[in-house]
Amino acid sequence: DSGVTQTPKHLITATGQRVTLRCSPRSGDLSVYWYQQSLDQGLQFLIQYYNGEERAKGNILERFSAQQFPDLHSELNLSSLELGDSALYFCASSEGLAGTTDTQYFGPGTRLTVL
């Protein structure tokens, strides 16, 4: 158990809909990362937040957005869903402290199925 929690575990929805995935980082971790794993793209970095502020963006679609709240949990919002958005979505967290190796620890993921 990494200490990172994600809900829900599974999500089935229809095209055009909007969903929210939730992540709670390990206690004390300030950085949260979101990754997407689809069959054809592998594990890809989407976005990072540090202490409530967006820190880095990867291959995140404009239909997707994220935020980190004052209690440090994070949400990934996916809208206008398409069949190709079906994937595993992982959240990872790290201490986020400068001068450290800042290892990332992953949650169990949310499996999104768009029908």
Among 22, 26, 55, 73, binds other proteins (CB under 8 A): 55
For residue 108, give every residue at least 6 positions away whose Cβ sits within 8 Å of its Cβ, in sequence order, or none.
4, 5, 6, 9
Among 21, 33, 66, 85, binds other proteins (CB under 8 A): 33
Q: What are phi and psi of 84, to 5 degrees?
A: -70, -5
Q: Is 52 in the site for other proteins (CB under 8 A)?
A: no
How far is the C-alpha of 106 from the C-alpha of 34, rounded, in Å? 9
Q: Is 37 exposed, middle or buried (0-12, 13-18, 19+ CB in 10 A)?
A: middle
Among 50, 52, 60, 75, binds other proteins (CB under 8 A): 50
Positions 92 through 111 that interact with other proteins (CB under 8 A): 92, 94-109, 111
Residues that bind other proteins (CB under 8 A): 2, 4, 31, 33, 35, 42-45, 48, 50, 55-56, 58, 88, 90, 92, 94-109, 111
